[in-house]
Chains A and B, each alone.
Chain A
Amino acid sequence: KHSVNRPPTPDGAEDQGNEPALQEIINIKLIESGEKERLMELLRERLIECGWKDEMKALCRSYVKKKGRNNVTVDDLVHLITPKGRASVPDSVKAELLQRIRSFLMSAAL
């Protein structure tokens, strides 16, 4: 039984091994077929529906209120909401996306 709760994907390019190369190949396949865009739209829709986007917006707003509008950069906000954002994606959304990617890979392999 595959768990959807994997440890967060590392951002760093430190561990260059076989994994990033595979990720690259899959990414390119997804882009070239147009599937990546469809998946992005689906993800956007789901994250809006479940209120995730509003939650992130609210977090950003309160941070900007605290620091002052002129003292906040996009990088600050990305840093602020990335960990929380990744952690709070609903399991159902993760499962759905993973399922879609899986079916895509299986159809692409044929």
Chain B
Amino acid sequence: MSSKINGHVSPQPCPHLLVFRSRNGPKPFRALQDCIRVKPPGGRAAIRREPSEVPRCGTCEESSRSRLYACVACAAVFCHAPLLHSHASDHALSIPGHEIGVDVDRAELFCCACGDQVYDRDFDAAVVLAQTVNATATTSTSGSTAMQCSVAGSQPENLRKRRRVDYRPWEPGSGEHISRGNQSIPLLDATNASLVSSTQQPWGLRGLNNLGNTCFMNSILQALLHTPPLRNYFLGDRHNRYYCQQKNGVINGTKNSRLCLACDMDALFSAVFSGDRTPYSPAKFLYSWWQHAANLASYEQQDAHEFFISMLEGIHEKVEKDKRKSQSPGDYLSYCCKVVELASALRFRTAGLMMSTALLLGDCCIAHRVFSGILRSDVMCMVCGFTSTTYDPCVDISLDLEPNQGSSGKSSSAKSLNSFNVEADCMRPNQNCGISTLKGCLEQFTRAEKLGSDQKLFCQKCQVRQESLKQMSIRKLPLVSCFHVKRFEHSSIRKMSRKVDRYLQFPFSLDMAPYLSSSILRSRFGNRIFPFDGDEQDASNDLSTEFELFAVVTHSGRLDAGHYVTYLRLSNQWYKCDDAWITQVNESIVRAAQGYMMFYVQKVLYYKESENQGTS
């Protein structure tokens, strides 16, 4: 009875709806559209012949019924309470062709004969259109780009311009066959068995020495060393440090190797995956990073998350500069043209658009290709309903950790316990126990939030600051999702810092679908056929949104005296990486740990056609 269009279930019409459509033309609900009344803000849609109409049942004259339906054929209104009395059903059954009605308070189509909701694409589109109030011109704030928000019926260019291709495993070419024969040695062989650890630990596990409060760096490095796309990139020689330094030496005319964090990463990967199990000292890396982030160069304990961000920035900067320098003027020009083309399709109107678009595409460097996603922020004016939408790239998601964030309402436990039998009705045990969960945090993150009266935002329509409703959602998922739990609070007002030790439960497998912009917008408009912009273009919209946990960075101790430890998941075994010491641990240890940053990788990878045929 339902079919999948664009990955979302599109219900098949009931026989009565089919008959109705065949009798009344392709847009049978066109007349209804004029009766859609939306009350701002955020508008509930209702159906009224006149704005001040008080609908009442034509048979029993009651207006206080909870469900009233207007017959689409004759506009008569009837009540519907199937088990007691339904004047709507009576009407439907008595006159053929009068089975379809519309809920006057919800603007939802209903078949009074089948007793079920039915859907019409055009009608739903009209309702959604009536409910959204959009800008025609938007300006951006620094660091973010504003785009025209068209919620329904628009056809903007898909963010992904290249088409998807099926995965084909790599086959060595003739050149590779030859070099394989001449210059390589098998990885695992009787002759080099000494390289393989007797404890049979997986490849690439190597302790990192603490160089003086550097566990913040070691913990992040361990996670990155085992981030699958990143690992594959460096082990696949996509950034060859010798070649990179050689190139830079030539361009600069100096012999000194310029700062390149990617080269240092390459060196790190080589060292860690060499097979040598003795703990490694990432001194060169630390030194390079100090040069990049001079303000953090000290032997004091740093924040692992800050290190993570600054590292990604460091890789990006250098690679961006190189790319621009190494491109011939012709190349750079065609790159710019592509960017402008895409930007106009996405209706950018801001300065700094080159940088922003590249970031949005995630095509600038490996760091962003792996970690960069796009967040969507909708801010709705509580007075007029006008919604402004902005898109921002992000490399991770920082989540607040407040008490009682199980997957339900805020203060659920106390009130609902009065009314429910706890054992029988408690569908989600976490709710009443008040355990914070990662899912709960994500739900909180994507929940519509009323901004306080001290945080009034400027409304373009009203031209004054108004109270607003803000909602975040994820427009594009990154390959690797990094969740950062805000455990460290620094308040300059109160001149104090504190650490939130509260336990956070996190799953090993995570489906990000409910937090996507398409899902969030869908739920905002209720029970409708809802084509999200970009849906139509992308044929393969049943893209997997499933992620698997592969690394957890934990913090133990106090704010000023604490220790970072990373847990890695390799071949479904968990390993604790505590600076130089690596031990295999049971998954229950990991579950009980105090998660600070959790790394999830997309379960299924999708491939795009390469622009460069035959080159890397």
Q: Which of B2, B63, B81 is in CB contact (< 8 Å) with A24?
A: B63
Whether the pair B116, A50 counts as a contact (CB closer than 8 A) is: no
Give the CA-CA distance A75 to B48 in the complex, in Å. Answer: 23
CB of A55 within 8 A of CB of B425, answer yes
Range, interface on chain A: 35 or more
Q: Which of B39, B64, B420 has the most CB of A within 10 A?
A: B64
What residue in chain A is nearest B57 (Cβ atoms)? A13
Q: Are A74 and B110 in contact (CB under 8 A)?
A: yes
Set of chain B residues within 8 Å of A53, measured between Cβ atoms: 409
- A28 close to B54 (CB less than 8 A): yes
Contacts between chains A and B (CB distance < 8 A), count: 81
Contacts of B60 in A (CB 8 A): 13
B333 at interface, CB cutoff 8 A: no
Bound: A39/B482 CA distance, A: 42
Size band of the B side of the interface? 35 or more
Per a CB cutoff under 8 Å, which of B39, B62, B63, B409 touches A51?
Answer: B409
Q: A28 contacts which chain B residues (CB < 8 A)?
A: 54, 63
Please tell me if the beta carbons of B428 and A49 are within 8 angstroms of each other in the complex: no
Pick from B82-90, B162-170, B314-322, B497-505 the stretch touching chain A: B82-90
Does A23 lie at the interface of the complex (its beta carbon under 8 Å from any beta carbon of B)?
A: yes
Query: Which of A30-77 touch B at CB < 8 Å?
Result: 31-32, 37, 48-55, 58-59, 62, 69-70, 73-76
B64 and A24 within 8 A (CB): yes
Indicate whether A88 sits within 8 Å of B62 (C-beta atoms), given known contacts A51-B409, A74-B110, A75-B116: no
Q: Given the interface contacts A28-B54, A70-B2, does A75 sit within 8 Å of B418 by beta carbon?
A: no
The reply to whether A50 and B409 form a contact with Cβ atoms under 8 Å apart is yes
- Give the distance in Å from the alpha carbon of A101 to the alpha carbon of B213 in the complex: 63
Is A92 in contact with chain B by the CB < 8 A criterion?
A: yes
B116 surroundings in chain A (CB, below 8 A): 73-75
From B64, B409, B428, give the contact of A58 (CB < 8 A).
B428
Residues of B within 8 A of A50 (CB): 409, 411-412, 415-416
Confirm or deny: B427 has a beta carbon within 8 angstroms of a beta carbon on chain A.
yes
Query: Interface code B393-437, partner A: CB below 8 Å = 1, 0 otherwise?
Result: 000000000000000111110011011100001011001000000
Whether B427 pairs with A48 at a CB distance below 8 angstroms is: no
Residue-wise interface mask of B (112-152) relative to A, using a CB-CB cutoff of 8 A (1 in contact, 0 not) = 00111100000000000000000000000000000000000
- CA A73 to CA B80, docked complex, whole Å: 14
Contact present for B419 and A92 (CB under 8 Å):
no
The 0/1 profile, CB within 8 Å of A marked 1, for residues 38-51 of chain B is: 01000000000000
Q: How far is the CA of A20 from the CA of B65 in the complex (A)?
A: 11
Write out, one digit per residue, whether chain B residues 58-77 have a CB within 8 A of any chain A CB (1) or not (0). 00111110010000000000
Bound Cα distance A49, B408 (Å): 8
Which residues from 6 to 34 on chain A have a C-beta closer than 8 Å to any C-beta of chain B? Answer: 11-13, 20, 23-24, 27-28, 31-32
Say whether B190 faces chain A, with CB atoms less than 8 Å apart: no
- Whether B418 contacts A90 by the Cβ 8 Å rule is yes
Closest to A37 in B: B39
Residues of A within 8 A of B64 (CB): 23-24, 27
Q: B residues within 8 A CB of A54? A: 408-409, 412, 431
B1 at the A/B interface (Cβ < 8 Å)?
Answer: yes
Nearest CB to that of A70 among chain B residues? B1
- A13 — which chain B residues lie within 8 A by C-beta? 60, 62, 85
- In the complex the two chains form, what is the Cα distance from A56 to B395 in whole Å? 36
Give the residues in chain A near B84, CB-CB below 8 Å: 11-12
Residues of B within 8 Å of A2, CB to CB, are none
Residues of chain A within 8 A of B418, CB atoms compared: 90-91
In angstroms, how far is the closest chain A Cβ from the Cβ of B56?
8
- Set B39, B81, B420: member contacting A55, Cβ < 8 A: B420
Residues in A neighbouring B85, C-beta threshold 8 A: 12-13
CB of A62 within 8 A of CB of B427, answer: yes
Which of B60, B411, B412 has most chain A Cβ within 10 Å?
B412
Complex Cα gap A69–B420 (Å): 26
Determine whether the beta carbon of A31 is less than 8 Å from that of B114: no
A51 touches B54 (CB 8 A): no
Could you tell me if A51 and B415 are in contact, using CB atoms closer than 8 angstroms?
Answer: yes
Q: How long is the Cα–Cα vector from A59 to B427 in the complex, in angstroms?
A: 8
Identity of the chain B residue whose Cβ is nearest the Cβ of A20 in the assembled complex: B62
Bound together, the chains give a CA A70 to CA B60 distance in angstroms of: 33
Contact among B1, B52, B62, B83 with A79 in the assembled complex (CB-CB below 8 Å): B83
Question: A47 CB to closest chain B CB, in angstroms?
Answer: 9
Interface residues of B (CB under 8 A from A): 1-2, 39, 52, 54, 60-64, 67, 81-85, 110, 114-117, 408-412, 415-416, 418-420, 425, 427-428, 431
- 16 pairs, A vs B, C-beta closer than 8 Å: A11-B84, A13-B60, A23-B64, A27-B63, A28-B63, A50-B412, A50-B415, A53-B409, A54-B409, A54-B431, A69-B1, A70-B2, A79-B82, A79-B83, A87-B419, A90-B418
